[in-house]
Amino acid sequence: MYGMVAIYYVMIVNILYFSIIGLSFRNIWTIARRAKYSSYNTLAGSELVPAVSLLVPAYNEELTIIENVNCLMTLNYPTFEVIVINDGSSDKTMDVLIAEYELHKIPNPDMSGTIETNTVRDVYHNPDYPQLFLIDKENGGKADSLNAGINLSHYPLVSSIDADSLLEKDALIRMARMYMENPEETVAIGGDVRIANGCLIENGAVHNISLPRKIWPMFQSIEYLKAFLGGRIGWSHMNGLVIVSGAFGLFRKDSIIDVGGYRGGYPGEDMNIIIKLHRHMLKNKIPYRVAFCPEAVCWTQAPDTYGILANQRKRWGRGNMKNMIENRGMLFNPRYKVMGLITMPYNVLFETLNPYFRITGLLALGGYALLDMTHWKILLVFFMLNFFSGYLLSVGALVLEEIAFKRYKKPSDLFKMLLYSALKFVGYHQLGVLWRVQGHIQYLQKNNSWGAMTRQSWNDESETA
């Protein structure tokens, strides 16, 4: 009876979710303590902290790029460089950067890396801004841009940062602290991504943190909180992270080069690089860890209209599908330990295929009820249980946030989050399922466009906030 399968499926999903959030709760106290008591200021001036190359791929980012680069150049970190990679933008991204920082072409740039990329036209620099480099290359996608950045980078660690994101001043040093705990084994660290819509942005820093006012970003705020605090802390505890967000992650450069750099051609390159790292390390039996650093916060601009959000989610669905199919060999393969036995099966069964189980399960149960094979009350109880477990997970993530970070100070914001956590199950959740299916359809149709991702200026954002 298929209905039973659906019920078992839901049960297993929930058990998994709750175990993961349980692990998050186990770790949150340590995280809260180290976020509060580590002396980041002393560390941020130390010669012993490894140098980092920040890679900022930029495609048509003329509105936000200056604010973003200013933010990165004023990070509280001892030694770092900012490499902006202009991926053949069709707008004025190049011009605004060159004008703002008075950049000049370097005659013979030293691109010491060996990863294949599209043609790099020029590298720009200004000695007045010694940490800033600008690569101008032909359009080749985000992965290709990151590879070009790696080729130019001068330091042993690289960090990928989205051009529409702003880092907190201490974000990078917090990550470096985690890296320095275990520099031998750490190959990648992910940061906590939060939604900046609704916050006031000034001088490249986020002030007056508050929740977005529009509903699409609002739902995403809760979604991100749940995914990052509820999910990734737990997954990283058992070294089973499948993704380090492209918006903000730190990597060991030699490891990235070992696995051949980022893969182009498809979205989801951030998940892909992590799977490749896991695969490489486990295959060669090298001890390693992929960590998550929730106290390193990156604020990103969430899509605030239906169309853009839908595009983004379809793209994610497509990337996820591609990554799972590409790495199907890891599924249930004991050689890949936690990755092969838990993370990958979880991702295939409960993330990639989730929409189909949901839709078919719903149809089956609905059908049984109509045919009077199941009592409608049982069905109702089932739905209620489903809803409450989901709601409990959201609330759990909120509690984690309140234990360790307390970024949202206003009590009204907390109530708003509790309310929207419930509203999320009416409509937004179902749309998520729909978008994922549409993404899969696009994948099968081999439609590989990036989709429109229009940006708003940070300034406009702060005015409306």
Partner 1 sequence: MPQSVIVQQEYRTDVYHNLAERVKEASKDSCGVMFLYCSDQPPQMESRLREILQYEPGLEFEIVPDSQTDTLAIMLPGHTLAAAHYQALLIKHHLQETMNQVDPRITLTVFPGQVDPMPATLKQMAESAKLSVSSDIQIFTKPEALKDPGRILIVDHDDTIREFLRIRLHLQGYETLEALDGKAALELIEKWEPDVVLTEFHLYGIDGLPFIRQIQKLLLAQTPKIVVLTGQRVDQTISQCFKNGIEDYVTKPFSPVELDARIRRCFN
The footprint of partner 1 (CB under 8 A) covers 41-42, 44-47, 70, 73-76, 78-79, 128-131, 169, 203-205
Query: Rounded to the nearest whole angstrom, what is the least distance from the CB of residue 46 to partner 1 in the complex?
Result: 6
User: Smaller CB distance to partner 1: residue 130 or 334?
Assistant: 130
Q: Determine phi and psi for 74, rounding to 5 degrees.
A: -105, 25
Contacts of residue 84, defined as CB under 8 A and 6 or more positions apart, other chains included, come to 56, 58, 65, 69, 97, 132, 133, 134, 135, 163
CA-nearest of 405, 430, 399, 403 to 417 is 399
Query: Rounded to the nearest whole angstrom, what is the least distance from the CB of residue 168 to partner 1 in the complex?
Result: 11
User: Smaller CB distance to partner 1: residue 204 or 249?
Assistant: 204
User: Smaller CB distance to partner 1: residue 50 or 109?
Assistant: 50
Query: Rounded to the nearest whole angstrom, what is the least distance from the CB of residue 89 to partner 1 in the complex?
Result: 24
Query: Rounded to the nearest whole angstrom, what is the least distance from the CB of residue 155 to partner 1 in the complex?
Result: 13
Alpha helices of 327-405 — where are they, by DSSP H? 337-338, 344-346, 354-370, 376-404
Contacts of residue 419, defined as CB under 8 A and 6 or more positions apart, other chains included, come to none
User: Smaller CB distance to partner 1: residue 129 or 350?
Assistant: 129
Q: State which H helix or E strand residue 31 sits in.
A: helix 2-37
CA-nearest of 303, 284, 266, 43 to 173 is 43
Residue type, 108: N
Could you tell me the maximum CA-CA distance found in the chain, to the nearest angstrom? 78
Query: Rounded to the nearest whole angstrom, what is the least distance from the CB of residue 79 to partner 1 in the complex?
Result: 6
Strand ranges across the sheet with 80-87? 104-105, 120-125, 132-137, 80-87, 52-58, 157-161, 248-252, 186-195, 289-300, 165-167
Query: Rounded to the nearest whole angstrom, what is the least distance from the CB of residue 180 to partner 1 in the complex?
Result: 15
- Name the residue with tokens 């896991």: 278
User: Smaller CB distance to partner 1: residue 447 or 459?
Assistant: 459
Q: Tell me the three state secondary structure of residue 83.
A: strand
Asked if residue 99 lies in contact with residue 50, where contact means CB atoms within 8 angstroms, the answer is no
Which residues are registered as beta bridge partners of 250?
159, 189
User: Smaller CB distance to partner 1: residue 30 or 79?
Assistant: 79
Query: Rounded to the nearest whole angstrom, what is the least distance from the CB of residue 190 to partner 1 in the complex?
Result: 24
User: Smaller CB distance to partner 1: residue 73 or 349?
Assistant: 73
Count of helix runs (H) and strand runs (E) in the chain: 18, 12
User: Smaller CB distance to partner 1: residue 129 or 425?
Assistant: 129
- Name the residue with tokens 């009876």: 1
Query: Rounded to the nearest whole angstrom, what is the least distance from the CB of residue 67 to partner 1 in the complex?
Result: 11
Query: Rounded to the nearest whole angstrom, what is the least distance from the CB of residue 204 to partner 1 in the complex?
Result: 7
Ordered DSSP codes for 162-198: -TTEEE-TTHHHHHHHHHHHSTTTEEEEEEEEEE-TT
User: Smaller CB distance to partner 1: residue 68 or 89?
Assistant: 68
